[in-house]
Structure 1
Amino acid sequence: MNETEQKYTVATYSYTCTAYVRTTLRRALELQSTHNVWAGTKYVNAAQGMLGNFWSDILPDEQTWELTKLELMTIHRALEWRKGRRGFSDTDRDEKLYPEWDNIADEIYRALREVWHSEGKYWM
């Protein structure tokens, strides 16, 4: 990553949300070859970089994260993929968690929309 690349602040809400994002990225990476979660190696590389050996540096259990546009896009796509599979892969989860998980997904999308709007892409 370029050291001067702009970062965007994202509220994480809770430990449940941070764990949900990390688990979603891990699951998406494991199933990338059969599910094509991301349509490009740059997103796969970004996901691997966020999880790597030091995931706690990028995706810690903190109140906020500082993420690049590529990281936001990578997480957003993984969360969309997982939400689309909820009936298949999250059947053993307490449905009370879904609204909390939706909070972090909405926050990631809000930050990403802010990026797109700053680039003049209001149609996103």
Structure 2
Amino acid sequence: MDQTEQKYTVATYSYTCTAYVRTTLRRALELQGTHNVWAGTEYVNAARAMVPNTYATTRLPDEQTWELTKLELLTIGRAIAWRRARRHAGLADTNTPLDLEMEWGQIQDEIHRVLQGVWHSEGKYWM
């Protein structure tokens, strides 16, 4: 990662939200071979860097905010969209309490809001 690369602040809201993102990335990495969550290897490498293994969470700690690059935001955004689609299709997160899904929605909305700000700053208002 380039040290001069722009970083964006993402509010994480709660431990539940940070755990949700880390788990989503790990699931997506495990199923990348069959589900093709990301189209490019740069996203897979970014996901691996954010969640190196089950025990190390150095890149996405349980803190109130994260400082993420555009690539990291896009990687997380795609993984969240994939997991949400599986949930709506009844293939994942079955029997999840509504209040938990609502809490996950906070970080989903925050990632989308920050990504939208990135796109708008690039003049991509349709995204």
Scaled by the length of structure 1, the TM-score of the pair is: 0.95
Indicate the RMSD between aligned Cα atoms, in angstroms. Answer: 1.2
Q: Deviations over 1:21-54 (max 9, x none)?
A: 0000000000001001011111000000111158
Q: Are the equivalent residues in 2 in contact too, given 1:18–1:59 (CA < 8 A)? A: yes
Q: Are the equivalent residues in 2 in contact too, given 1:8–1:67 (CA < 8 A)? A: yes
Q: Are the equivalent residues in 2 in contact too, given 1:17–1:101 (CA < 8 A)? A: yes
2: CA distance, partners of 1:116 / 1:8: 12
Cα deviation, residue 17, structure 1: 0.3
2: CA distance, partners of 1:2 / 1:104: 26
Q: Are the equivalent residues in 2 in contact too, given 1:58–1:66 (CA < 8 A)? A: no
Selected match of 2:118 from 90, 115, 121: 115
Cα deviation, residue 58, structure 1: 1.7
Deviates more, 1:7-16 or 1:93-102: 93-102
Indicate yes or no: 2:58 matched with 1:57. Answer: yes
More helix by share: 1
2: CA distance, partners of 1:72 / 1:63: 16
2: CA distance, partners of 1:55 / 1:61: 12
1: CA distance, partners of 2:79 / 2:56: 16
2: CA distance, partners of 1:38 / 1:56: 21
Identity, % of aligned positions: 72
Cα deviation, residue 61, structure 1: 0.3
1: CA distance, partners of 2:100 / 2:108: 13
Amino acid of the structure 1 residue aligned with 2:93: D
Amino acid of the structure 2 residue aligned with 1:115: V
Deviates more, 1:72-81 or 1:92-101: 92-101
Structure 1 runs not aligned, ≥5 long: none
